[in-house]
Amino acid sequence: MLFGYPVSATAENWFHECLREILCSIHTSLKAATTLPAWPEIIPARYRKRLEKRRGLEDRLNNYKTSLEKLTTEEQNRILQAFHDQNQIDLLLSCQLNCETITDLPKAIHEPVKNLFEFGFELLTKLEIRDKHYKVIYDAAPSHTCPFCGCEYFDAPEAPREALDHYLAESKYPFAASNLRNLVPMGNKCNSRYKLAKDILLRNDGTRRKSFDPYNCTGIRLSLENSQPFAGTLTPTGQLPQWQIEFSPNTEEVITWDEVFHIRERYERDVLNAEFTSWLRYFKSWCKSANIVPSSDQELMDALNRCATHCEEMGISDRAFLKAAVFRMLHTHCQQGDQRLISLIISIVNPGQTNLRQAP
């Protein structure tokens, strides 16, 4: 993940907290065999005015309670524990805690839980919580792009809403479905083509894995330094490099990110291969605008270094972080004396000069 979201965006998490208090009240009442307050008194007083007219919520809470009454005390306790555990997002993502999924729990509770929390998620829009959440994220972002890929742009808060992903899949962890800590704006491609309903906590073989915490992530650094010019795909415009995409630090979270979102595959296919030739032309334009006409190997390397620095200063915007990594890689190989690469770049930047003089 290229950058994290501000945890302040989850400050309006009052609806999730309200549901937590109501469910705890239901479980406590059943355990003590006491009468549960009727609607709307069951709603904590500080939230009552905002929710008392949401009778769909009342119906789903009643169905949850009715289903719960048919279960043993041990089963009821497991369900409440699952609610608690599924919402310990930071501990789950760092593998400090495990939790039961909905399919681990008694079947009688599956539909009531699913219906209750699907409805709760829909209420986030109607209660204007979702819009406030997104605006805080958008305003604080270093770049208005999806941090899961760095390529898809986010629209302004006034536009139709971006996809809001259940980071812990709703199909397995429905108790976290209305928790802002588990809800992350995500580009449409990342959300609907790659992540889908994949389990961020478990590999395909069922073993646990660590994942980036979107609200506690400092980002990573990408390098193409070990890529090999002229060793990749041959195209009508020339031979591409063989890309070696490396991330630092190379943690388990990076491995999960790459597996879930197909990051390396997408960067190579959709950006690096597709844009390499146009970025060489960009370098020509950049040299012209900077009034640079390299006439020696060293001047060419200095120009590549300056261009890479310029792109790095642009951050995530306009895929500049990938463009910067390409120019860093070109600079490295030119510095190592790759005359074929030097000749290629100079033929583009300064086509009137076939050879560069060596620096004294």
Give the pLDDT confidence score for residue 102 in this predicted structure. 98
Spatial CA neighbour of 185 closest among 166, 159, 213:
166
Model confidence pLDDT, tens digit, residues 301-334: 999 999 999 999 999 989 999 999 999 999 999 9
Query: Region 69-90: what's the mean pLDDT?
Result: 98
- The domains of the chain are located at 7-195, 221-349
Helix axis angle for 129-140 and 110-126, nearest 10°, is 70
Strand partners, 242: 228
Give the pLDDT confidence score for residue 354 in this predicted structure. 54
Averaged pLDDT of the chain: 95
Confidence label for 359 from pLDDT (cuts 50, 70 and 90): very low
Model confidence pLDDT, tens digit, residues 81-123: 999 999 999 999 999 999 999 999 999 999 999 999 999 999 9
Query: Region 232-246: what's the mean pLDDT?
Result: 93
Q: How far, in Å, CA of 179 to CA of 20, rounded? A: 10
pLDDT surpasses 50 at 360 = no
Give the pLDDT confidence score for residue 353 in this predicted structure. 63
What does the DSSP 8-state code read for residue 318? G
Residues above pLDDT 90, as percent of the chain:
92
Residues above pLDDT 70, as percent of the chain:
98
Query: Region 175-183: what's the mean pLDDT?
Result: 98
Confidence label for 237 from pLDDT (cuts 50, 70 and 90): confident
pLDDT surpasses 50 at 235 = yes
Strand partners, 183: 166
Secondary structure of 191-237 in HEC code, one letter for each residue: HHHHHCCCCCCECCCCCECCCCCCCCCCCCEEECCCCECCCCCEECC
> Beta 221-223 vs 183-186: how paired, if at all?
unpaired
Confidence label for 238 from pLDDT (cuts 50, 70 and 90): confident
pLDDT surpasses 90 at 162 = no
Give the pLDDT confidence score for residue 345 in this predicted structure. 95
Query: Region 270-290: what's the mean pLDDT?
Result: 96
